[in-house]
Every structure is written in C-alpha cells, then in structure tokens.
Amino acid sequence: MSGTPPHYHQALVERLQHCLPAHCLVQDTESQRVFDCDGLSLYRELPLLVALPETVAQARQVLQLCDELGVPVVARGSGTGLCAGAMPHPEGLLLGLSKLDKIINIDPLARTARVQPGVSNLSISEAAAAHDLYYAPDPSSQIACSIGGNVAENSGGVHCLKYGLTVHNILSLELLTVAGEQLTIGSEGLDSPGYDLLALLTGSEGLLGIVVEVTVRLLPRPEQARVIMAGFDSVAAAGDAVGAVIAAGIIPAGLEMMDRLAIQAAEDFAAAGYPRDAEALLLCEVDGTSEEVAQHSTRVSELFRSLGASSLTVSTSEAQRALLWKGRKSAFPAVGRLSPDYYCMDGTIPRSQVTHVLQEISRLSGEYGLAVANVFHAGDGNLHPLILFDASDQQQIERAEEFGAKILELSVAVGGCITGEHGVGLEKLAQMSSQFSELELLQMEDIKHAFDPQLNLNPGKGIPILKRCQEYRALPNRQQHE
C-alpha cells in the first residue's frame, strides 16, 4: 500500500480487532503479498487489510462494519481464479473465506451436500464417495479451487458437456448482502417461487453478495465410463470430429481437445500415452450402463476412424481412464514448463466455428510472435488458448494482452462470448463493450446498484461502471478503463 491511507483506516483496524481474533487480521505488507493477485498474476495490488473470518457470524460483522464505514470489500476463495476477479482493492478490505471450509452435511437420500464456501471442489466428491455419489463440475484446478469461487465464476470442467456448469448443479445459497444481512436463495425443492435469483447470483463474481454456504446436487456414479482417445493429423479434422459426435446424437460425459504443443507438454509431464506426433487430440468419455458405454464407445470409435483419426485408443480399465484424464488435467501446469509465463484465455464459440477460430489463433500467433498451446472443452466450445510469453519483457506482456483481446473479440464475432467459466473480473472489462450494447451494460449496472447501492462489493470488476473507472487507479500493465 502506497500513498496516504484512507480516512477510515484507523477506525477500521480498531473495530475489526474487536470482532476478529488477532490471527484472522493480516496487516503487515509481507504477509499480505500472498493475496495480491489470483491465478492471473499479470495484475497485482496490495489490499488495505485482509480479514480471514472463521465463522459466518464473523464474516457478517466484517461486512456490517465495512458497509458502515464505506469500505470496499473484495471476496477471495482459494485464489485460483484466472480473470483478476479476486485482486484486492488498494483502499479496501480483502475478505478471505478459506477458513469457512466445513462440509456441513451430506444427505445420500436427497443426494445433496451442504458445504461452506472454502471447501475444495474435489473434497465434496471425496466425502460423497462413501455413498457412491459425486459432485459433477470438475475444473482442472478442482484439487485446490473452492466451491464459493466456483459459484462466483460459474465454473465448468471437463464433464460440463453432459452434466452442466455450476449453475446446473447447485440448489441453494446462503448469501450475505453488502450490509451483512443473511439471505437464503433457492431451495432443495424442484422449483422456487419468484425470480430465479440463484441463476443471477451464480457467476456474479462477488459483485452482488458474499456466498457463505452452498447446497450442491450430488449424482450417482455411473456404472461404467470409458475414454476414447483419438489423434488427428490436422486441427481441422479434429474439429470436424467434434461436431460429428454431437450430430450422431451422442452426448459424451466429456469431449476435450488439445493441439500439438499441448499434447507434447502434457505427455512429457504425465506420461499418459498421448500420440506425440498428432497435430490434435480428442478425449471423448462416454458413461452410463455397460450396454450404453459399449454401444457409444464403438460408435464414437467408428466416427473418429471415418474422419481420419491417425491413432485410436479406448481405455480398458479405470486406471487407464484416470491416466488419460490426468494428462488433460495436468495440461495447464505442463505448459508452464515451456515458457516463463503463460496467459490463459477463456472464450466460448459455437462448435461449428472450432476449426476457423483455431486457424485464426494460429495466424495471430505468427502476427504477435508468441506461441500458443490450445487446450479446451471442445464439446461446448469453451476455448482455453495458453499464450506463452516472458513477463520480464514488458513488450511481450503488452503483446500477450493484445493477442488475448483479439481472441476474445474473435469469439464474439463468430457468435460466441468473451468468457465461458473464468469470469470477466478486471481482465475482460475492455471486451464487455464488444459483447454488450450500452443499454445492456446499463441494465447490468442497475442490477449491481440494486444489490450494492454504494458499489463497494468487488469494485472495478465485471461491469465497466464509469464511476469506478474514475476512482480505480491505473494498474501495472493496464490502462484505466474509461
């Protein structure tokens, strides 16, 4: 924190010390540095203070105090987000929810789990495994990412094609408003009266309220699952195969695509048995009864062969299936071994545009002089191009940002959108005007005002509001949004 502290600084510290244990309030600069960014490390900022409540009551008191003093509040989960959505406000409080990490209840009859926001995604499935149940959305970071963050960004994962995003797998939320009022949104029933606020709040990026409890839907584990891995000699052939699977009336549990650079990086890292000489790779998982799996795996294999697959592998054991997925889920860290830094984008496009968009990304890669590894959820068109660069070179940083912006604009131009599951945060503010009209942005601003009249929840993120553009100071590597 540089410059003169805001007028409320001392009062905020003194009153927080009365409602939080000393170890739950982080004031010194060095200890705050671990909170200065999320997974998108291009943009960093130190907060004024960090509060780490251990109970919902403490979180409520913190919000009430901040509302009274007019202090900006940024909520943070595990910090694995990739849009700078959890980057602190320099004159605000960072509200860390990682200590709210209890699995409150698992109901195997209702097939639900009640959990606090700091619970990791994977631990829900681990806890439900005793009942032969699991939680379907599985982001690549599921070992670390928290369910509260998943709700904030409406996260997906490799199995979202068949089983849906976070919004399709949660039943209710306990929410704290900016003033500390606790609300229950949704229910465990099949429907709820009134407006569908649950859908509105899922993916709202901490702009409308703070999630302190989530009730998720659990699913029975499929009787059987099998992965069909196919290598192709061109990205275009793999792209055509994606559309062919869906056109055949098969909805795979997952349908993922990787290009040559990503294949080789993942194979070096995980030794999953990927075809290193392929230009593109598809991983298609089918699940269900033994009969369904046998029928669908045969049909998918035939489709891939007819469309020119240069190699084909069908998993024959659970261990092999897990290994094939390990390569895909390790792709992001594996690509990190190829370059000092990489910039992970998140656009979504119609499946019919996969080949065209990947060809354009390749052309832009040459134009900007930066390599790209493509890893994405091909079945639902959610792109994750990884732009390789060196953050010690300011020119490369600027080229990477501009390149990423072009990918997002391209996604919109072909009928897609600027984000699939990573959110807008700070990263994509400039592209919001490419996706939405001025009237649409004003309607979003009206919703924001209805929940947060003083605009103190995660200010400067998600929606390009002029008032905050003027107040939120310029950040390293990024010009102010005006």
Counts of helices then strands in the chain (DSSP H, E): 17, 18
Q: Is residue 3 classed as helix, strand or coil in its secondary structure?
A: coil
> Phi, psi at residue 428, to the nearest 5°?
-105, 15
Per-residue pLDDT, 472: 41
Q: Tens digits of per-residue pLDDT, 403-437?
A: 999 999 999 999 999 999 999 999 999 999 999 99
Supply the DSSP string of 89-133, one letter for each residue: PTTSEEEE-TT---EEEEETTTTEEEE-TTSBHHHHHHHHGGGTE
Write down the mean pLDDT value for the chain.
Answer: 94
CATH code, 224-333: 3.30.70.2190
Per-residue pLDDT, 478: 44
Cα 458–chain centre separation: 17
Eight-state DSSP code of residue 448: H
Strand 93-96, strand 49-51: pairing: parallel
Residue positions counted in the chain: 482
Separation of alpha carbons 138 and 129, rounded Å: 15
Supply the DSSP string of 128-192, one letter for each residue: HGGGTEE-----TTTTT-BHHHHHHHT---TTHHHH--GGGSEEEEEEE-TT--EEEEE-SSS--
Do the beta carbons of residue 378 and residue 351 sit within 8 Å?
yes
Examine the pLDDT at 477 and tell me if it is beyond 90: no
- Greatest distance between any 2 Cα atoms in the chain: 70
Place of tokens 């002029």: 466
Per-residue pLDDT, 194: 85
Per-residue pLDDT, 480: 38
Specify the long-range contacts of residues 304-307, CB closer than 8 Å, at least 24 apart.
304/228, 304/230, 304/241, 307/232, 307/237, 307/240, 307/241, 307/244
Q: Tens digits of per-residue pLDDT, 61-115?
A: 999 999 999 999 999 999 999 999 999 999 999 999 999 999 999 999 999 999 9
Separation of alpha carbons 110 and 332, rounded Å: 36
Per-residue pLDDT, 424: 97
Separation of alpha carbons 224 and 246, rounded Å: 20
Examine the pLDDT at 232 and tell me if it is beyond 90: yes
Calculate mean pLDDT across residues 238-259: 94
In the chain the first and final C-alpha atoms are separated, in Å, by: 24
Using left for φ > 0, alpha for ψ between -120 and 50, and beta otherwise, residue 206 falls in left
Q: Tens digits of per-residue pLDDT, 114-152?
A: 999 999 999 999 999 999 999 999 998 999 999 999 999
Q: Tens digits of per-residue pLDDT, 371-391?
A: 999 999 999 999 999 999 999
Q: Is the pTM of this model over 0.75?
A: yes
Radius of gyration of the chain (CA): 23
Q: Which class is domain 103-220?
A: alpha beta
Orientation angle between helical segments 394-413 and 354-368, nearest 10 degrees? 160
Orientation angle between helical segments 354-368 and 235-247, nearest 10 degrees? 150
Per-residue pLDDT, 466: 61
Place of tokens 């930066």: 370
Calculate mean pLDDT across residues 321-346: 94
Separation of alpha carbons 277 and 260, rounded Å: 7
Q: Tens digits of per-residue pLDDT, 436-463?
A: 999 999 999 999 999 999 999 999 999 9
Per-residue pLDDT, 481: 36
- Residue 193 binned pLDDT confidence (cut-offs 50, 70, 90): confident
CATH assignment of 9-96, among 3.30.43.10, 3.30.470.10, 3.40.50.1000, 3.30.70.270: 3.30.43.10
> Phi, psi at residue 324, to the nearest 5°?
-60, -40
- Residue 465 binned pLDDT confidence (cut-offs 50, 70, 90): confident
Per-residue pLDDT, 2: 54
CATH fold for the domain made of 339-413: Alpha-Beta Plaits (3.30.70)
Per-residue pLDDT, 470: 42
- Residue 4 binned pLDDT confidence (cut-offs 50, 70, 90): confident
